[in-house]
A = this chain, B = another copy of it.
Amino acid sequence: MTPASKHGVYRGFRRSTGVGALPGSTERETAPISEKCRLTRISYNVTLAEEEVIDTVAELNEDVPEDRVYWFRLEGIADPETLRRLGEAFEIHPLALEDVVNTHQRCKVEDYGDHLFVVIRLPVREANGSMTTEQVSLFIGEGFVVSIHEGCNALEVVRERIMTARGRVREYGADYLAYAILDLVIDNYFPIIEKIGDRLNAIDEQLESGFEPGQRLAIRDVRADLLLLRRTVWPQREAIAVLMRDECTLITDVTRTYLRDCYDHTIQLMDVIETYRELCADLRDFHLADISLRSNEVMKTLTVIATLFMPLSFIAGFYGMNFQHMPELRMRYAYPMTICLMLTIAGGFLYFFRRKGWI
């Protein structure tokens, strides 16, 4: 008998009398409760858009006009109590709530009848240059979207488009809002992919110009990043396909057309990732061939030098023997003839190496 349910404003809500013990823990062990989060309610229709900060969960039950789309936006690390109350207010299935708290979920879409639960991963470039992903959880009901995200300004663009009436968000319903958020998240992958493309290009050019032992580290890092990206993007594609295929009435045909565009983007992402992975493998093979080739070159140098000087040294050593009866030693032209012999041998080997293409 809360006002919300009385008016049926958030139409997906069914008020249950007693939820009982929650399956799975919403307690977050690692994050301190003291960290603040911010819950705002943006409500809009074609003609107007309002934003309020919700300070207490009680405010959620306030009397609100029916002809609007509501976007509840929870940013920062939520304290478990807020999450639990939110879960109660929106009748979220405890398993979904558990997935919200445990922020290492694979991207997915789950249909809980009156609302859809979507987990999507936002790529973030960390300070030290390495890539990571943050979880964005969405609950899509009839007339409302709840978004939960630890980071802070990722969804700002969508908020701005609503407040300034840019684009079409305000013309359509909650499903289009969900699409806009999904689209934004997926668009965030493109600069990351481009950056990886630049790194591959740099490695490629380096490989061509000269050899650098550090290249194998660079290649390995790119491969690891691509592996992570693939693991993240692949289920994304699936999730959007589920949203498109789903018979559930929450997604309208108009939005479905836009989701198809979104789907195309993930396909394109996968395409580029797979191509980069193959390029990366090629670079690695090329790098290995390079090492072999350089070893070969080093060995050739060694062989040329050794083959040239070993016979000469032997001859020198030979006439350095101290036998008393070595008739050559006393011959007048033995010395120049020995030099000639040496030059001939050296010349012969040099000709042989030249013909082999070793020098």
| A positions within 8 Å CB-CB of B | 20-21, 23, 93, 95, 106, 108, 110, 112, 166-168, 171, 208, 210-211, 213, 216-217, 220, 223-224, 227-228, 231, 257-258, 260-261, 264, 267-268, 271, 275, 278-279, 282, 284-296, 298-303, 305-314, 316-326, 328-332, 334-335, 338, 357-358
Which chain B residues lie closer than 8 Å to A282 at the CB level? Answer: 220, 223-224
Interface secondary structure of A, over-half rule? helix
A294 to chain B, nearest CB (A): 6
Which chain B residues lie closer than 8 Å to A292 at the CB level? Answer: 288, 291-292, 295
Which chain B residues lie closer than 8 Å to A307 at the CB level? Answer: 301-302, 305
The 6 closest A-B pairs by CB, nearest first: A316-B317, A302-B303, A319-B321, A309-B310, A320-B320, A323-B335
Interface contacts beyond A302-B307, A316-B317: sample of 18 additional A-B pairs, CB < 8 Å, sorted by A: A21-B166, A95-B258, A95-B261, A210-B357, A220-B282, A220-B286, A224-B279, A231-B271, A288-B292, A292-B292, A295-B296, A299-B302, A303-B305, A305-B306, A313-B314, A317-B317, A325-B332, A325-B335
- Contact between chains at B305 and A310 (CB < 8 Å): yes
Alpha-carbon distance between A320 and B21 when the two chains are bound, in angstroms: 95
- If A292-B292, A324-B329 touch, does A21 touch B257 (CB 8 Å cutoff)? no
Which chain B residues lie closer than 8 Å to A224 at the CB level? Answer: 279, 282
CB contact between A312 and one of B275, B287, B314 (< 8 Å): that residue:
B314
**Residue from A210, A213, A217, A292 having most chain B Cβ neighbours under 10 A:** A292
- Contact between chains at B20 and A278 (CB < 8 Å): no
- Contact between chains at A216 and B317 (CB < 8 Å): no
- Contact between chains at A106 and B227 (CB < 8 Å): no
- Contact between chains at A295 and B299 (CB < 8 Å): yes
- Contact between chains at A227 and B278 (CB < 8 Å): yes
CB contact between A168 and one of B20, B220, B311, B326 (< 8 Å): that residue:
B20
Which chain B residues lie closer than 8 Å to A216 at the CB level? Answer: 286, 289-290, 293
Which chain B residues lie closer than 8 Å to A300 at the CB level? Answer: 298
Which chain B residues lie closer than 8 Å to A310 at the CB level? Answer: 305-306, 308-310, 313
Alpha-carbon distance between A328 and B316 when the two chains are bound, in angstroms: 15
A126 to chain B, nearest CB (A): 17
- Contact between chains at A289 and B286 (CB < 8 Å): no
A290 to chain B, nearest CB (A): 8
Which chain B residues lie closer than 8 Å to A110 at the CB level? Answer: 260
- Contact between chains at A275 and B227 (CB < 8 Å): yes
Alpha-carbon distance between A76 and B281 when the two chains are bound, in angstroms: 37
A95 to chain B, nearest CB (A): 5
